[in-house]
Structure 1
């Protein structure tokens, strides 16, 4: 493997994937959410940077071409598993996550079967938007965990009615509970909306890839 800068960034992204759940093993929430968000954002940024540098510096390699989609899928799949595990298994999150995971496994298996032919099936612009939507959705959902836990920490031990009065403006908000609650609600809704959009794009691009692969799956004779 040629250790070019783009390839080093791709390997970093590949190693960052398992680092996301490790944050939840060694840190309490909401710090785990914050560290996981930072790791995920850095990895997502390198996804664009390594491709740009590889083209600009003419350093595209076979190893980099192979590792790049693997790193993307590892980041998305592992991050979704972590988010789903801490979401109380909400069906509104589990369903689009399942669609994304199923598509990635299906297409990976299809590429493995096609072998060298898979390289002729080019990545579409829509597939790139799919990956972008997935990563933005995951980043927003990680941020929701931060808002949620700070809201829980700051309101711990408070009477339920007082919390309601603070949120509705009848009590002075000394702690900033309204900001945390607003951030928690909006990041949750926006994150879910983006995840459903990503799931829809995932289905469309998965079907497109399968349709392009069909001629290579026909039986001889």
Structure 2
């Protein structure tokens, strides 16, 4: 195995995937949300850098080509598992997450069946956009968790009438409830919209991959 800088970055991203889940096991919220967000964004940035550096420095290796898609899928799958778990199975989040997970399992199984032939089926630009939308959507949804818990912490001990008065402007907003609530609402809707876009692109690219693989799936007569 060749341990180039791009390959090391890929391995770090692979190890960061379970780290996202560990943040919620060892830290309370919203600190877990913050740490998971920073870890996920940092890993997503290395996804761009490792490929860029490998091409610029002519350090593309078989190890990197094998680990890179695995690291991407691990990051997305584990992050979605965490988000769905802490969303109390919200239907608007569960369905696109299920579509993304189904596609990743289906395509991974198809690649395994095709063996060496899978290498001839090149990654399309649309598939790269799919990954980008997945990463951005998940990061925004982690940010929503941050806003949600800061809003809860700031309004702790207040009754509903006082919170309503503050948000309506009848009481002074000393705790910044309004901007925290607006941040929570905006990031929630933005994250869900981005995730649905990612899910649609995921289904389209999955079908495209299956269509291209069909000639290799026909039985010999």
Provide TM-score, normalisation by structure 1: 0.99
- Aligned counterparts of 1:47 and 1:154: Cα–Cα separation in 2: 36
Question: Which residue of the partner structure matches residue 127 of structure 2?
Answer: 127
Aligned to 1:11: 11
Gaps of 5+ in 1: none
**Quick one: distance in 1 between partners of 2:169 and 2:103?**
46
Residues in 2 aligned to 1:9 and 1:131: alpha-carbon distance in whole angstroms:
18
Distance apart, 1:157 and its partner CA? 1.1
Task: Show CA shifts across 1:89-132 (max 9, x none).
Answer: 10000000000000000000000000000000000000000000
CA distance in structure 2 between the aligned counterparts of 1:182 and 1:159, rounded to whole angstroms: 19
Judge which range, 162-171 or 174-183, deviates more.
162-171
Considering only aligned residues, what root-mean-square deviation do their CA atoms show, in Å? 0.4
- Counting only pairs closer than 5 Å after superposition, residues 1-221 of structure 1 correspond to structure 2 as 1-221=1-221
> Where do 4+ consecutive residues of structure 1 move more than 6 Å?
none
Separation in structure 2 between the aligned mates of residue 142 and residue 156 of structure 1, nearest angstrom:
21
Name the CA distance, whole Å, in 2 between partners of 1:159 and 1:47. Answer: 45
Q: Bigger CA drift: 163-172 or 31-40?
A: 163-172
Gapped runs of 5+ residues in structure 2? none
Give the length in aligned residue pairs.
Answer: 221
User: For each residue in 1:19-64, what CA deviation from the matched residue of structure 2 results, as whole angstroms up to 9, or x when unmatched?
Assistant: 0000001000000000000000000000000000000000000000
| TM-score, normalization by structure 2 | 0.99
